[in-house]
Amino acid sequence: MADSTIIYTHTDEAPALATYSLLPVITAYAAKAGVEMTTRDISLAGRIIASFPERLTAEQQIADDLAELGQAVQHPEANIIKLPNISASIPQLKAAIEELRSKGYDLPEYPDDPSTDDERDAQARYKRVLGSAVNPVLREGNSDRRAPTSVKHYAQTHPHRMGAWSAESKTNVMTMGADDFRSTEQSTIIAAPGSLSVELVAADGTITALRGPIPVLEGEVVDAAVLRAAALDRFLAAQIARAKDEGVLFSVHLKATMMKVSDPIIFGHVVRAFLPKTFAAYSDVLAAAGLSANNGLGAILDGLAALPEGEAIRSSIESEIAAGPALAMVDSDRGITNLHVPSDVIVDASMPAMIRTSGHMWGPDGLEADTLAVIPDSSYAGVYQTVIEDCRANGAFDPATMGSVPNVGLMAQAAEEYGSHDKTFEIPADGTVKVTADTGEVVFEIPVAGGDIFRMCQAKDIPIRDWVKLAVQRARATGDPAVFWLDAGRAHDANLIAKVESTLAQLDTDGLTIEILPPADATALSLERIRRGLNTISVTGNVLRDYLTDLFPIMELGTSAKMLSIVPLLNGGGLFETGAGGSAPKHVQQLLKEDYLRWDSLGEFLALAASFEHLATTTDNARAQVLADTLDRATGTLLNEDRSPSRKLGGIDNRGSHFYLALYWAQELAAQTDDAELAASFGALAARLEDEEATIVSELVAVQGAPVDIGGYYLPDPTLVVDVMRPSATFNAALASLN
């Protein structure tokens, strides 16, 4: 990888479509600074195809770009812009496989219950694609996420709408508080490098190896915990009854994409708890047909037509839904409930959206209503309840005056819960899970019952200490207080607190305000400060990093996609993530229906400026710094001139915002005085774009309103996508003239 190269990732859905329009602009401008833009495919389809090279033709085979990037992030010259990708649930994975097979790719179907070596091999390969397969590979550094000054200023001068809160709101969060991951957690700090093995010793003495050997390093924090299935079922039954009694919507909030083993299982428990009579009568029939509650109610309903008992099962489901509490809806018009698809309601996005909307979700009647939000594990549920109680007492937040809660997140080297996928298991039988060191020492010993969910997590010493240093750097750079969201009453956090305190003792913290508080208390402090317009740096572990960088930005900016997300890699490189806004499948649906893409590429603009700045610093490329500075100013102009995608047909969409970015960027480059040659090159382009603005906008708007064909959802046809995403011949010609 050359020093002057920036890797731009090809991902999925809306950001992938936007790339076809934006990347030609970036490539043309970057070339003038001697910077090469190159791409790597980390899309869901690309990852699937790369997993089965021996089954495909030479023309169909593609390189394993994710594995290559996993090596690249180890190098100091790494400079990668990472767009949001699909963190696939099993239903999404199956849909992608079906599409690829229809296009002639000889891929095996996903085997739910493999019975042969080939099926077990196929399932193992597919499981490496499921969930958060990308982020743990690329995040070889900790996270620095914050709202850029231009974005924050725009949000204050153009505040988004916040729903009013009532003191009588019945919205609440319910969580287990016992027999869950937080309450059963055990934790240790590894004294010497070696390995661990996980095994289940069943009640009859049978020993089943679950995982191992698992390499561990000196100083590493390792945890083990279990969520007890029987307690979960009792808890869920009680919450369904409570929602019915209180007359509020029932919803469950999980993260079945990132917690790709545990949370689909928990989701299945919720579906079964909501439909107890149906599963009591038909569980064997559904299981025999491969219809699992873990995949959601939608998959079950879709499969009923093929069953002789299908109509009876459908009638039973409809009867129980009618008798239960009203379900929160993903799409009331289409009848898509909170329980339809495990990846439809993701806690870090769904809870802030509910809080922003008066504590309401949408009901089956298409109206907003108070909601009982069920978050089974109690590790972080209290954060959301604290926000709800604050809003109930003090009303909605005011984006025009509220402060910020930037985040420094521990995530390097698959730290903490999001790194637990390969060490999470649904326990098949009663017994004891033992975690044993290669020395023979039993590190953890946890009694379990069949159906319980066991998980083990790791966080290495070097990432933890780097995380503390990054927090101190941000506090020093901003003057804002930094709060570590750690609970001494939780086993894992207690070990982290010891490391935080020992690392802080070695750093210069004079004049800085640094605190350690449990998450609920840290939430309350941050809320009190942001209501006074003050900023507070949240310093959190991996999962809270993800939750908070949606929660606070959605309240203050209206979206998390406008965050600047920088990952200083441990070996000196840079990973620049384009916000936390997901991959926006609904935006793709709108494009297909009416040739209008509402995706906002602001995150890409912000990440690109940071990427150019990093390149300038690490390679002494002065022109890259000019590109960074002028792009930052152009982005500010784009916001101030309201050139982001509008929400309605007839205005500019994603493609129009790219044109205006190109125009404002060219104008800034033409006006800058640091590089006369660059100024001259872009002066001509700026003049041409100014002269042809009306024609270009007319060409971009003229295509709106009619359906388009892009040749596929997970693997669209590049030629068709280019035609759709670059419809202005005038703009394309002007851009080509630059080089």
Q: Over the stretch 347-376, which tens digit does the pLDDT of each residue have?
A: 999 999 999 999 999 999 999 999 999 999
| Euclidean distance between CA atoms 629 and 518, whole angstroms | 39
Q: Is the dihedral of CA 530, 542, 506, 565 positive or negative?
A: negative
Query: So what's the pLDDT on residue 6?
Result: 97
Query: So what's the pLDDT on residue 135?
Result: 84
CB of 198 closer than 8 Å to CB of 434: yes
CB of 714 closer than 8 Å to CB of 100: yes
Contacts of 415 (CB under 8 A, 6+ apart): 458, 459, 460, 463, 464, 541, 542
- Mean pLDDT (whole number) for 609-624: 94
- Mean pLDDT (whole number) for 42-46: 96
Quick one: which H or E segment has residue 329?
strand 329-331
User: ω before 15 within 30° of 0 (cis)?
Assistant: no
Contacts of 284 (CB under 8 A, 6+ apart): none
Q: Rounded to whole angstroms, what are the CA distances from 690 to 169, 633, 671, 684?
A: 52, 18, 14, 10
* Per-residue pLDDT at 2 exceeds 60: no
What average pLDDT does the structure give for the chain? 95
Quick one: which H or E segment has residue 455?
strand 453-459
* Per-residue pLDDT at 3 exceeds 80: no
* Per-residue pLDDT at 7 exceeds 50: yes
Q: How many CA atoms does the CB half-sphere of 243 hold within 13 Å?
A: 29
CB of 417 closer than 8 Å to CB of 542: yes
CB atoms within 10 A of CB 206: 10
Name the region of 310 (left: φ>0; alpha: ψ -120 to 50; beta: rest): alpha
Query: So what's the pLDDT on residue 620?
Result: 92
Counts for the chain of helices (H) and strands (E), in that order: 27, 24
Q: How many CA atoms does the CB half-sphere of 42 hold within 13 Å?
A: 29
Provide the residue type at 4 as one letter.
S
Give residue-wise pLDDT tens across range 285-323: 999 999 999 999 999 999 999 999 999 999 999 999 999
Give residue-wise pLDDT tens across range 498-556: 999 999 999 999 999 999 999 999 999 999 999 999 999 999 999 999 999 999 999 99
Contacts of 51 (CB under 8 A, 6+ apart): 64, 125, 126, 128, 129
Render the burial of 6-44: b for 16+ CB within 10 Å, e for the rest. bbbbbbbbbbbbbbbbbbbbbbbbbebbebebeebbbbb
Contacts of 331 (CB under 8 A, 6+ apart): none
Look at residues 392, 376, 384, 316 and name the one whose alpha carbon lies nearest to residue 348.
Answer: 384
Confidence band, pLDDT 50/70/90 cuts, at residue 201 = very high
| Euclidean distance between CA atoms 9 and 7, whole angstroms | 6
Contacts of 679 (CB under 8 A, 6+ apart): 669, 670, 671, 672, 673
CB of 708 closer than 8 Å to CB of 592: yes
Query: So what's the pLDDT on residue 1?
Result: 39
Look at residues 420, 421, 426, 428 and name the one whose alpha carbon lies nearest to residue 453.
Answer: 426
* Per-residue pLDDT at 276 exceeds 80: yes
Render the burial of 718-730: b for 16+ CB within 10 Å, e for the rest. eeebeebbbbbeb
* Per-residue pLDDT at 581 exceeds 80: no
Return the biggest CA–CA distance within the chain. 82
| Euclidean distance between CA atoms 684 and 690, whole angstroms | 10
- Mean pLDDT (whole number) for 88-102: 93
| Euclidean distance between CA atoms 667 and 637, whole angstroms | 11
Q: What's the N-to-C CA distance of the chain in angstroms?
A: 23
Confidence band, pLDDT 50/70/90 cuts, at residue 136 = confident
Query: So what's the pLDDT on residue 582?
Result: 63
Q: pLDDT above 90 covers what percent of the chain?
A: 89
Give residue-wise pLDDT tens across range 675-691: 999 999 999 999 999 99
* Per-residue pLDDT at 203 exceeds 80: yes
User: Residue ranges per domain, the chain?
Assistant: 229-394
Within 32-180, residue ranges assigned H as helices are 44-50, 65-72, 90-102, 117-127, 135-138, 149-157
CB atoms within 10 A of CB 71: 11
* Per-residue pLDDT at 739 exceeds 90: no
CB of 449 closer than 8 Å to CB of 430: yes
Give residue-wise pLDDT tens across range 209-222: 999 899 999 999 99
In angstroms and rounded to an integer, the radius of gyration of the C-alpha atoms of the chain is 26
Confidence band, pLDDT 50/70/90 cuts, at residue 579 = low
Quick one: which H or E segment has residue 360?
strand 360-362
**Positions of E strands within 175-220:** 186-189, 194-202, 207-216
Look at residues 12, 13, 10 and name the one whose alpha carbon lies nearest to residue 587.
Answer: 13
Which tokens in the block code for residue 562? 């406008």
Residue-level length of the chain: 739
| Euclidean distance between CA atoms 215 and 411, whole angstroms | 18
**Positions of E strands within 398-441:** 407-409, 424-426, 431-437
Provide the residue type at 298 as one letter.
G
CB of 134 closer than 8 Å to CB of 10: no
* Per-residue pLDDT at 150 exceeds 90: no
- Per-residue 3-state assignment (H helix, E strand, C coil) for 269-313: HHHHHHCHHHHHHHHHHHHHCCCCHHHCHHHHHHHHHHCCCHHHH
Task: Using CA atoms of 40, 44, 45, 49 in order, give the dihedral in degrees to the nearest 10.
Answer: 80
